[in-house]
Structure 1
């Protein structure tokens, strides 16, 4: 009986000990995840600095090339200016008028034709000289503006480099301090290394593959506007010159999966003002959150399009920093262009609600 009592006490003590240990283990797991998150952020901050350095080198080369081109154009402009000045001086002094007077002193029609052709050649040369000077001046203005723009961009890039460098130093310092408090720092550092390698070798290609496929498919989305295969179009509401294109997230998933098999492992959901896409590929999880908004591109002749603004990216449950999001946005265009279907269509509004995306369109008359 005493043995049974001792065994019961032992079991009770073990149960209490385990119950006390569980929160600590959970805390350690959460703390480790936070450290891994910081490690990934530090890695991506370093990658952003590498991108800035590359951009800065390209700007320096472009700046040097523009300066050389500008110097060459200035030399040509000086020569064109001298020719143009001679032409203008000749007209101002009346030299060209005296040449035309020769026509009245010629006795034969043959000589008159020869003289007229000669005068026309002089006029053409005059016009060529003046046009060359005018073109050179325009080219000089363009190169000067490009030079100023390149210098501004270079200065901004250098400032961004300094900011990111300071940010990286602070992040690394904080991470080092946190690791110094860990009894199993070596094991955590190894997990960080594994995570960054997995992100670099598998995560980045995965997201780029998704974004490339999304960009291509979204360019084709306006096809639904003209789809009348069933005798009517359920996606387009017409009210005079105003149109509303609507599509549910279920219909979007069906459309995307019809365009690319890759989307069979990804699901899009519309909520109030947000788009969320989740996918799993080869054991890796991708999470994309963003929103649609109106925007205008310089090469779209002032016409609006629907831009997808990325707000959050996650890889296997780890958040990627804003610098990574910005780099992805610059590399991939995920916008919707209704005017690609019909140039007379103009998008005037976009609305996201639960399970539905609506685009307001009108005819550009």
Structure 2
């Protein structure tokens, strides 16, 4: 099976080479036009997958909304009962019933009677408090359920809007591809190339891309230990700490973590990070940047701004999916527990993180 897909990959490469190097005697598409068609066809495949993910999430939220609505109705019925009990307790204090009970306790004729009556008094007061606490608990629970319903409804609205946008993107891209293929003068060859590319991407390409992202995410878990063991990796000025990571040191660290990075390298530039490599039939290029995030916890988060697979740019939906599935960030508090990141920047060959003491 793997051999079959390697043959497909080779065929795609050969066809792509032929298309990209052909002359325009028969009005065949230029190399750039061919690449654009293939890129759009790959985007259609990936956006279709995003539509599937959105639809699945929408179905999950619809079911969750039904469950929450049912829970809210039950809670309303329960709180109505609890409200009556709590009201009865409050009225007993307001009308002085509990004061009379206290006077009865204090009117005991002996210490023995006093202690017995006081025990009964504490039991009654304790039950009163339990009723009021139960009412407050049910009320808070009902409020939380109402909030979750509102949040779910908002997410559903956003999903529906996103779903509509993605469907419109697919329709637009498909029309563009159909028009370009029809005008290419070699529609059958290009259609075959698109089909073979789709087969290769869905059976090999996406899994290889995820393999790199998974290896990166795993390596980043060990980055704090690497930084701590680096001589001069952390410096301090007053209450400010600075972490500096050189691209050569990072690449060496990654290769020690996983041999998959032997043909893959990071490069730090001004406000930009690139990572690229080539192995067998796969060529991968990632471009992105780091930001400081404080939710759900303080971290240095990596954002994928551009992703190229065999020189074809993948759509934003694929980038977001990979960011969500694989955590490529790191957490400074795993290095120094009493600090938090306040700033991150890259310059030629260096990644720098500023840390401040967290109070």
TM-score scaled to structure 2, two decimals?
Answer: 0.89
2-structure distance, mates of 1:113, 1:362: 59
Q: 1:27 Cα deviation (Å)?
A: 5.2
Q: Which residue, 284, 303, 314 being the options, matches 1:309?
A: 303
Listed as ranges, the matches of 1:285-300 within 5 Å are: 285-298=283-296, 300=297
Q: 1:110 Cα deviation (Å)?
A: 3.1
Q: Secondary structure at the match of 2:146?
A: helix
Listed as ranges, the matches of 1:1-365 within 5 Å are: 23-24=23-24, 28-227=30-229, 233-298=231-296, 300=297, 304-365=298-359
Could you report, residue by residue, the CA deviation over 1:51-91 in whole angstroms, capped at 9, with x for unpaired residues? 11111111111111111111111111111111110100000
1-structure distance, mates of 2:306, 2:247: 19
2-structure distance, mates of 1:171, 1:226: 49
Q: 1:33 Cα deviation (Å)?
A: 2.2
Could you report, residue by residue, the CA deviation over 1:282-316 in whole angstroms, capped at 9, with x for unpaired residues? 42111111011122213x2xxx3211111000111
Match of 2:9 in 1: none
Matched residue pairs, number?
337
CA contact (8 A) 1:42 1:168 kept: yes
Q: 1:22 Cα deviation (Å)?
A: 6.4
2-structure distance, mates of 1:235, 1:105: 77
CA contact (8 A) 1:73 1:136 kept: yes
2-structure distance, mates of 1:187, 1:43: 19
1-structure distance, mates of 2:112, 2:188: 101
For structure 2, the 5+ residue unaligned runs are: 1-20
Q: 1:120 Cα deviation (Å)?
A: 0.8
2-structure distance, mates of 1:244, 1:199: 41
Q: 1:192 Cα deviation (Å)?
A: 0.8
Q: Secondary structure at the match of 1:24?
A: coil
Q: 1:281 Cα deviation (Å)?
A: 3.3
CA contact (8 A) 1:279 1:285 kept: yes
Q: 1:350 Cα deviation (Å)?
A: 1.1
Match of 2:11 in 1: none
1-structure distance, mates of 2:77, 2:29: 72
CA contact (8 A) 1:199 1:315 kept: no
For structure 1, the 5+ residue unaligned runs are: 1-20
CA contact (8 A) 2:29 2:184 kept: no
1-structure distance, mates of 2:131, 2:118: 20
More displaced 10-residue stretch of structure 1: 140-149 or 256-265: 256-265
2-structure distance, mates of 1:315, 1:226: 34
2-structure distance, mates of 1:119, 1:251: 73
2-structure distance, mates of 1:197, 1:82: 66
CA contact (8 A) 2:55 2:163 kept: yes
2-structure distance, mates of 1:53, 1:364: 42
2-structure distance, mates of 1:364, 1:324: 35
2-structure distance, mates of 1:238, 1:109: 70
Match of 2:13 in 1: none
Which has the greater radius of gyration? 1
